Chains A and B, each alone.
Chain A
Amino acid sequence: MSKLLTVSPSPHVHSDDSTQKIMYRVVLAMVPALAWSVFVFGIDALRVILIAVLACLAFEYLIQKYLMKIKPSVMDGSALVTGILLAFNVPSNLPWWIIIIGSLAAIGIGKLSFGGLGHNIFNPALVGRVFMLISFPVQMTSWPVNTQSGIDAVTSATPLSIIKEGISNGTPISEISKNLPSALEMFWGGIGGSLGEISAALLILGGLYMLYKKVITWHIPVSIIATVGIMAGIFWMVNPEIYINPVYHILTGGLMLGAIFMATDMVSSPMTPKGQIIYGIGIGVITISIRLFGAYPEGISFAILIMNAFTPLINYYVKPKRFGGK
């Protein structure tokens, strides 16, 4: 025989799955929501997405090549996912230079400063988003009008910011509600907001695809949504004049986006199903606390980042059930 035999430890077969495939499945799952955002916000949305994606890919390549001096891994798809998620989290009229700064924060600080894919503690896209939100609060919270909502205005506020402002002015919910879109509108995506957060239906569609492809499990999204729903429900039942009904909390403010696409980020979420449920409940509790009692109308980004920090601790203490007990 001319060729040498290969010797390697078992197993000798592989499932043919790869990290790239997982990343591209995530991208595919985001396509419906992405298409809807372009439909609603027009070419501006496309501009934001393109800038964010290209900036993320470029920063990943440049930093890996010239600062870290390792082989760039831009094609693994993770920077692409970060770019799209970052775009999903900003209004479509955001100036290009803010998006680029956000991308740098996401890739540079959020991901590569920890060592790259797999080593980051926080979800990179959220690091970028929060960085932009704190640095450029005005630009980040003035959304263009949703062409599908039929509200006549140049800029529109998100339902949550309308509520927050109303309550701080002492207006009862029953009055505020008149200015709010209906639950159905929110579900299908007829509201103002960031690119990716407006249509709950399309986000759920993407989530179902990822569930089907086993990219994510149900534990994190369901535990977040259930916690938010239950907590908001309790407050609503205590005083419906100050607290809005839980449907609004679930369908607005990027909760679906966060629960389905951001919190489920593999790298920064816990490993065991039990840990994932603890993590989801934590995100739900913090989200509602920020929304109801904090300064910001929305809280899911901060909630996810805070729980990201607890992930190593959860992994340390929450172990899978071992075979053979003890």
Chain B
Amino acid sequence: MLKTFKKGGVHPPENKLSAAKKIEVLPLPKSVFIPVAQHIGAPATPVVNKGDLVKTGQIIAKSSSFVSTNIHSSVSGKVKKIDFSADSSGYPKQGVFIDVEGDEWLEEIDCSEEFVKEFNIDGPEIIKKIQDAGIVGLGGATFPTHVKLVPPKGMKAEVLLINGVECEPYLTSDHRLMLEKPDEILVGTQLLMKALHVEKAVIGIENNKPDAIELLSEKCKGYQGISVQPLKVKYPQGGEKQLIKAVTGKEVPSGGLPIAVGAVVSNVGTAFAVYEAVQKNKPLIERVVTVTGKNVANPSNFKVRVGTATSELIEAAGGLPEDTGKIISGGPMMGRAVASLDVPVTKGTSGILIIKEDESKRKEYMACIRCSRCVSVCPMGLEPYLLMTLGEKQIFDRAEQERVMDCIECGSCSYTCPSQRPLLDYIRFGKGKVGQIIRSRKK
């Protein structure tokens, strides 16, 4: 039976152009720029200096607090400099520039493709390995995974949800990973289950990926406690709260974490990274990135080293099209437009999307005609038209009352507005301001 979340949601055209393309390994770039802040939380502190020789997998920046992760070198070579450069956040961030020389891996890393199913390791050790490997949520939120695996006092995880929804249009990296590495994902899931002490895991996959549903359902039989839940196609089903609602029927309370309803959500990519970290000793230094767009010559899925410049990926997919208007890091609904092609692939980059010139410009927006579509598509049951006005007029106390902080920034409201109003722009602004007010109140 197909499940889905109840409230709101939209159906943008899927445009999964690269769904049939096998994951290719992108050739090593000549140089990389690895930002030290690729996750939510405190940036890591660089531990290498200019001129140092580093090996692939070596730690180049150490996490400085619990909510933070290590950053590893994704290549071997010489540290050129430690400097600031723009990443997909749009602002210059500190990072390590490395000139690639050969590809020499740390000895303890098992680089072979051989599948290792058996493990004999206890929960805390798994968490330790995940933390050391610098694993973060690969769905795009980049929250450090080890933090999620340690529930706050008094709370207990009951079920692990593996997010194979990939509800963003265009993106296919998770889809391909599920098709090509199903066993690895399932072992990763088992490791996460053990770390969390849960008996049950559900992999949620949208119905537009029948091949992945079939394959994983078949493979699941060999793994205890793991099942596949097919889901009706609807954006933003990949949102943590929406996925929990769809699969378990429970609603995460406003302002609460998924653990409040006994759920922990991890992306399939994260599960795969956990497998590699625990079974192969391999830190998170590469990931699958979809390079796509309607005018891209050869939409592809690449296995890319972290720190590779966007331009290299686009080159490998057939070069930058003439009528490029916008380049997005991530999907079209929640991804960030980048201002330059030097922006590196980071742990959270699930795709590079190229939008044509004529589709990249917003139309002039008109007055709100109160059609209430934004209200009906909001998956959080908010009133975007109202929140936008409150943001615009800077009435932040009322915005807080109207639960602006519940907004998950999925963009369904802006997507659907017939007057083309920039609803999310102002809601995000209001959310930021209200967040500041709430934080200053706590102090």
Contact = CB atoms under 8 A, between A and B. Distances in A.
Contact of A320 (B339, B378, B411): B378
A150 interface: no
Contact of A266 (B355, B371, B414): B371
B32 to A, nearest CB: 22
A12 B326 contact: yes
Contact of A11 (B334, B372, B382): B334
Given A12-B326, A322-B382, A5 B333 contact: no
Interface in A217-233: 217
Interface stretch (B20-28, B222-230, B246-254): B246-254
Nearest to B419: A19
Interface string A45-89: 000000000000000000000000000010010100000000000
Contacts of A208: none
B251 to A, nearest CB: 5
A320 B12 contact: no
Given A12-B332, A266-B372, A5 B327 contact: yes
Interface string B247-268: 0000111111000000000000
Contact of B251 (A11, A13, A325): A325
Interface in B347-406: 353, 355, 357, 359-363, 366-372, 375-376, 378-383, 385-386, 403, 406
Contact of A5 (B7, B337, B414): B337
Contacts of A170: none
Contact of A267 (B337, B353, B369, B375): B369
B325 to A, nearest CB: 5
Contacts of A266: 369-372
Contact of A272 (B7, B339, B375, B380): B375
B34 to A, nearest CB: 23
A326 interface: yes
Interface in A104-150: 116-119
A11 B90 contact: no
B41 to A, nearest CB: 22
A153 interface: no
Contact of B370 (A6, A18, A21, A271): A271
B241 interface: yes
A78 B375 CA distance: 22
Given A7-B90, A117-B366, A322-B381, A1 B326 contact: no
B338 interface: yes
A187 B422 CA distance: 44
A11 B375 contact: no
Nearest to B5: A323
B369 A12 contact: no
Nearest to B235: A11
B12 A13 contact: yes
A12 B378 CA distance: 17
A13 B415 contact: yes
Contacts of B245: 323
B366 A19 contact: yes
Given A323-B7, A323-B381, A5 B326 contact: yes
Interface residues of A, number: 43
B101 interface: no
Contacts of A269: 370
B324 interface: yes
B367 A322 contact: no
B327 A9 contact: no
Contact of B252 (A9, A18, A324): A324
A76 B366 contact: yes
A319 B383 contact: yes
B241 A324 contact: yes
A168 interface: no
A322 B6 CA distance: 12
A321 B381 contact: yes
A19 B252 CA distance: 35
A6 B372 contact: no
Interface in A1-40: 1, 3, 5-15, 17-19, 21-22
A75 to B, nearest CB: 11
A10 B366 contact: no
A117 B366 CA distance: 9
B14 to A, nearest CB: 11
A322 B254 contact: yes
Interface string A143-172: 000000000000000000000000000000
A76 B370 CA distance: 15
A9 B371 contact: no
B335 interface: yes
Given A10-B409, A322-B254, A323-B380, A19 B355 contact: no
B336 A10 contact: yes
A6 B378 contact: no
Contact of A323 (B324, B341, B379, B420): B379
- Counting chain B CB atoms within 10 Å of each CB, the highest count among A13, A18, A321, A322 belongs to A13
Contacts of A76: 366
Interface in B254-302: 254-256
Nearest to B423: A11
A322 B403 contact: yes
B424 interface: yes
B76 interface: no
11 contacts: A5-B325, A8-B326, A10-B333, A12-B328, A14-B362, A15-B415, A17-B418, A18-B363, A320-B383, A322-B254, A323-B381
Interface of B: 7, 10, 12-13, 90, 169, 241, 245, 251-256, 320, 324-328, 332-341, 353, 355, 357, 359-363, 366-372, 375-376, 378-383, 385-386, 403, 406, 409, 411, 414-416, 418-420, 422, 424-425, 428
Q: Which 10 A-B pairs have the closest CB atoms?
A: A11-B411, A118-B367, A324-B254, A271-B372, A322-B381, A323-B380, A13-B332, A7-B337, A266-B371, A6-B326
Given A10-B336, A15-B10, A324-B254, 11 more contacts: A8-B326, A11-B333, A11-B415, A13-B333, A76-B366, A118-B367, A267-B369, A269-B370, A320-B378, A322-B254, A323-B380
Interface of A: 1, 3, 5-15, 17-19, 21-22, 73, 76, 78, 116-119, 217, 266-273, 315, 319-326
